[in-house]
Structure 1
Amino acid sequence: MGLEETEEDNTRPVSIPHELISEILTRLPVKSLARFQSVSTQWDSTITHPSFCISHLTHSASRASTTLILTFINRFTSDRNIFSVSIPPNGNGSGVNPTRVLTIPGFAHPFVSQSLNGLICLNMGSMCVCNPSTRKFVKLPWTQTEVADKRCLQPQVAPIRHRANAFGFDPVTNAHKVLDTWITCHDNDENGIIIEQRVFTIGTGCDKWRRIAEGPSYFPFNESVCINGKIYFRAYPSMIASEKPVMVVFDVHSEEFQFIQMNDDLISDSEDTVLMEHDGHLAIVDHQGVTNGEVNAIQMRVLIDEKDGKWVKKCVKIPEKHSEMKDRQRFIFTGTTFTGEMIFAERKLVNPFHVFFYDIKKNEAKKVKICGLTEFDFSYSNVLMNVTSVNEHVESIKSLT
């Protein structure tokens, strides 16, 4: 009798605590979580809760494999094609296959941000923020200057307008923000240069840009990188030709600006240099320059003290066997991994498509072959596809609304 009771007890359904279920769910891919949201109202509430999104992001970032997000612009149709590819830890030289995430129609602007906690930002005419994991995107409201054209002394002379954007993440509030800068210039009015800055916060339910009152004047380069809650980009402080560029720092949380001087002409105004993170600091990298005849040398300037504006020089020689990634006609520096490796990728969509990962600290590089990109059905020709970004990405369930 006792045995029968034991067997009967074993057939009874076991109730699993919801806390344990939640912990299991944080370890699943986003594709599975999207299906499991329909299991019950409780599961849907759990998966969409902000604290769950943070826990899931933490587990995603701890995985051994590297996920890359590749974006291409079709120069004929202006479509932005986004792919993801997972590279195993020992993926050196092996061929890996990509997954097509989505295609976003729009304006063929080259701006694509780094991946910040699962989201990327693109300029599609209006700004667009995309979560490649959920395959969803949202186009932000169009912004325009609030400055009336009445500043023109001659009504028939239209003002010149320039727009620049940057994408950042606030680790204090876990909020993603887009910084939008408009510069309006009236050629016939020496006092007619007006700078306007606005900020859009993703996922708050508010679909309006907020104007930053009394923001500083600057003329930004078409670049930006976000490090530890701060957005960095170079800019001219005025239209005076003799003035040197400065580094602009935008604190994503406080929404305040800071200017840092740069005394090295090599890094201050060269368009061949790029911004990246190096050991938690901002670094300006001349990835195509020559140092004392060393064609395969990478020059860096690292900002080690923001308060005093202190930069240090660093020069690293690329191993001769991987010198092909310095071929300007074929490869471009497109971004970095979360561990600080530099990513060099093919300029054009070719098969196979090669990506280099260069570890500055170890002075080592690995070449990864990505197969099958040209097998996708693109409108018109593959030769019209330009690479705009290749960045490491982490899966996120974060909502855009």
Structure 2
Amino acid sequence: MAAIPYDLIFEILSYLPSKTLMRFRTVSKKFNSLITDPRFSRLHHRRSRDRLFALSAISKHRGSDSLDLRIFLTDENNETIHEFTRCFYKDRVNRIIGSNHQLLCFVLDNSLSLYDPINRDFLELPSPSPRRVRSPHSVSFGFVDSTMQYKVIRWYLSHGSNLVFEVLTLTVTRGCRLEISPWRLSEKHCPYLLRHSSPPVHVDEYVYWRSYDSQIVSFSLPDETFSVLSRPPCLSTKNQRLENVREFMLYGIRGKLWLVDCDNLEQAVDIWTRSDERSSNWIKVHRVGVFSERLAYTRSPFEMLDIHRDFVLFRLLHPNVVMYYDAREKTTRGTEELRGELQLCHYVDGLLSLKNVFYS
């Protein structure tokens, strides 16, 4: 090792999977010091973002007070790593939120939990301020690469120009430890009210949502400031008739912001994305025909699960089936009707362990 430049070792190890690196930490003190260096964690994260893993979860109720969640973990080649079933008693899993990093956030009826898919560990997070536990709210979860911090945000229902929210910060420290700070209450000016029926989505270091007046609002996780994005051409119409039959949803998938515009009259959806994360220009990527007898009578009947190059995976809500669209062949194939609720999100390899946590 003494004959090999330190920077070269640093570079080579950054391409290895986390489980291999965990074994390497026991080789020597130098290897352990290198792998637990925050600079190495940041470089390993950047390398890992090119190799996305996927978590698919199908929930099925078992009686009136329990729910079985069947979880499948697959690699970038769609090969199954492992699968298992976890039972949630008297607590329903409402959403599973990815962070473009290692950890996922499980939003349950009565609590929030972190999940590490690599080591299959769960960690229940501290409760927010007692007087707000039962308040109507939405949850966001994201990772700030520049500060190596996860942030969990609870957005509360607002009736004025100020938006009240609570932030839980989880900082990755030396030794790949996770430091959890107390919940912090904040209130900032934001005239665009959050639609709780359209959950916020996370892309890189921003959270996006649709406001009640159909604006696209962004929230910077590092600065905790608000701004408004320009909308794609399909939403710039002043035609009231078109406004009544168009519904759009936002998605954060594979590190990009996507907008799905549902055209109920044409029984089709248009999929848009921005040409660059710093650009205000939107590009229409696909137009997918969705043939459903209930489409013309349903708001947002389409849920996009994944999109990669020329392929789109989506779910029709009526009926509850998963569809696969191939843009090269302009074909759509479906599956049998689902007997449960399907959720899908992506994560990347990482060096954290939920057993190595402390509270500040």
Structures share fold, TM-score greater than 0.5 = yes
Taking the aligned partners of 1:266 and 1:36, their CA distance within structure 2 comes to: 63
Aligned counterpart in structure 2 of residue 137 of structure 1, from 117, 122, 142: 122
Taking the aligned partners of 2:19 and 2:155, their CA distance within structure 1 comes to: 36
Taking the aligned partners of 1:282 and 1:223, their CA distance within structure 2 comes to: 14
SS at structure 1 position matched to 2:44: helix
Identical columns (%): 20
| Counterpart contact for 2:250–2:257, Cα < 8 Å | yes
2:203 alignment counterpart: 227
| RMSD of aligned alpha carbons | 4.8
1:29 alignment counterpart: 17
Q: What letter corresponds to residue 86 of structure 1 in structure 2? A: D
CA distance 1:315–1:83, shift in 2 (3 Å)? closer
| Counterpart contact for 1:67–1:84, Cα < 8 Å | yes
| CA deviation profile, 1:211-258 (whole Å, cap 9, x unmatched) | 11345463433422223421101233xxxxxxx343321111100123
Taking the aligned partners of 2:16 and 2:7, their CA distance within structure 1 comes to: 15
| Counterpart contact for 1:279–1:340, Cα < 8 Å | no
2:71 alignment counterpart: 82
| Aligned residue runs from structure 1 range 2-401, under 5 A | 19-63=7-51, 67-76=53-62, 77-88=66-77, 96-97=79-80, 99-100=82-83, 103=86, 105=88, 107-124=91-108, 125-144=110-129, 146=131, 161-183=135-157, 196-203=164-171, 205-216=179-190, 218-221=193-196, 222-236=198-212, 244-259=213-228, 273-276=248-251, 282-286=257-261, 289-291=263-265, 293=266, 295=267, 297-300=268-271, 314=284, 316-318=286-288, 333-337=303-307, 342-344=312-314, 356=324, 385-387=340-342, 389-399=343-353, 401=357
Taking the aligned partners of 1:275 and 1:395, their CA distance within structure 2 comes to: 25
TM-score w.r.t. length of structure 2:
0.69
Offset at residue 278 of structure 1 (A)? 9.0
Taking the aligned partners of 1:17 and 1:256, their CA distance within structure 2 comes to: 43
Taking the aligned partners of 1:266 and 1:169, their CA distance within structure 2 comes to: 40
Taking the aligned partners of 2:274 and 2:71, their CA distance within structure 1 comes to: 32
Taking the aligned partners of 2:312 and 2:224, their CA distance within structure 1 comes to: 29
CA distance 1:354–1:246, shift in 2 (3 Å)? closer
CA distance 1:315–1:29, shift in 2 (3 Å)? closer
Q: What letter corresponds to residue 128 of structure 1 in structure 2? A: S
Q: What letter corresponds to residue 203 of structure 1 in structure 2? A: T
Question: Is there any run of 5+ residues in structure 1 with no aligned partner, and where?
Answer: 1-12, 149-159, 186-190, 237-243, 370-382
SS at structure 2 position matched to 1:111: strand
Offset at residue 384 of structure 1 (A)? 6.0
Taking the aligned partners of 1:268 and 1:146, their CA distance within structure 2 comes to: 39
Q: What letter corresponds to residue 109 of structure 1 in structure 2? A: V
CA distance 1:258–1:317, shift in 2 (3 Å)? closer
Greater strand content? 2
| Counterpart contact for 2:210–2:250, Cα < 8 Å | no
SS at structure 1 position matched to 2:22: helix
| Counterpart contact for 1:245–1:268, Cα < 8 Å | no
TM-score w.r.t. length of structure 1:
0.63
| Counterpart contact for 2:112–2:125, Cα < 8 Å | yes
CA distance 1:137–1:121, shift in 2 (3 Å)? same
Q: What letter corresponds to residue 137 of structure 1 in structure 2? A: F
CA distance 1:101–1:311, shift in 2 (3 Å)? same
| Counterpart contact for 2:203–2:256, Cα < 8 Å | yes
| Counterpart contact for 2:194–2:209, Cα < 8 Å | no
Paired positions, count: 329
| Counterpart contact for 1:247–1:261, Cα < 8 Å | yes
| Counterpart contact for 1:230–1:250, Cα < 8 Å | yes
Taking the aligned partners of 2:230 and 2:7, their CA distance within structure 1 comes to: 51
